[in-house]
Amino acid sequence: MSNQRAFEGKVALVIGGSRGIGAAIAKRFATAGASVALTYARSPERAAETARAAQAQGVPAISIRADSTDARDLQEAVASTMARFGRLDILVVNAGILMRGTVDSFPLEDFDRMFATNVRGVFVAIQACVPHLADGGRIITIGSNTAVRTAFAGASVYSMTKGAVAALIRGVAIDLAPRGITANNVQPGPTATDMTAGYVELITALVPLGRIGKPEEIAGLVAYLASAEAGYITGASLTIDGGYVA
């Protein structure tokens, strides 16, 4: 993107923006001139730190507590964003959890929690934003390359949730196309976040580029999809994983 302030005057809401990929996305939008709202579930200090980093770019930024398993929390987060900024141009749904377990022993309560966060929460966030999202706006979900290749035992439920997000975004893209709103899904592979902290050596060996990704690299793709240059991309799932699924 050649225009370093490409999002001047825009407002971005990042669901799950306190740390890792979400924080990198929030900072990237702020650097490009967007006002930023970000949600967190259990990391108020890190959310505040990310908001301060965004503000350091000369834009307003707020953090909002919202549990993605709670529809009312998500709806109130959208309402708080509108109350503070008066508009919404970009929604990024990044919040997600990973619980491992093979299909023969996976607890139903863990299944329900992961589905509630990774699938239902994504739907609720999108639904809550749609009435407020500006025509020509952008919706971007953060899925996973496990929707394409599971690779490890114990990841069946997680992979299922990310496959559901990829399917959801195709329908959302069609539903909102008359308003010029694009909807796309970014599918990161192994990335340096809290989620992968215990598996770095194992997964690095599976990446043809020989390293795991940086959150800033995921944020770069998200920023492109939110830009005017990407206005003809919608309903797509774009994998960014160093060749992991190649």
Catalytic residue positions, numbered? 158
What's the structural domain count of the chain?
Answer: 1
Angle, nearest 10°, between helix axes 121-129 and 71-85?
Answer: 30
**Residue 6 belongs to a domain:** no
Q: What is the DSSP letter of 178?
A: G
Range of the domain at 159: 11-240
User: What pTM was estimated for this model as a whole?
Assistant: 0.96
**Residue 74 belongs to a domain:** yes
CATH code, domain with 225: 3.40.50.720
Which of 97, 136, 86, 87 is CA-nearest to residue 15?
A: 97
d(CA 48, CA 63) in angstroms, rounded, equals: 6
Q: What would the pLDDT profile of 108-167 be if each residue is shown by its tens digit? A: 999 999 999 999 999 999 999 999 999 999 999 999 999 999 988 999 999 999 999 999
Q: What is the DSSP letter of 142?
A: E
Check: CB of residue 68 under 8 Å from CB of residue 16: yes
Cβ neighbour number for residue 180 with a 10 Å cutoff: 12
Q: What would the pLDDT profile of 46-59 be if each residue is shown by its tens digit? A: 999 999 999 999 99
Position 205 pLDDT exceeds 90: no
Which of 2, 150, 24 is CA-nearest to residue 92?
A: 24
**Residue 97 belongs to a domain:** yes
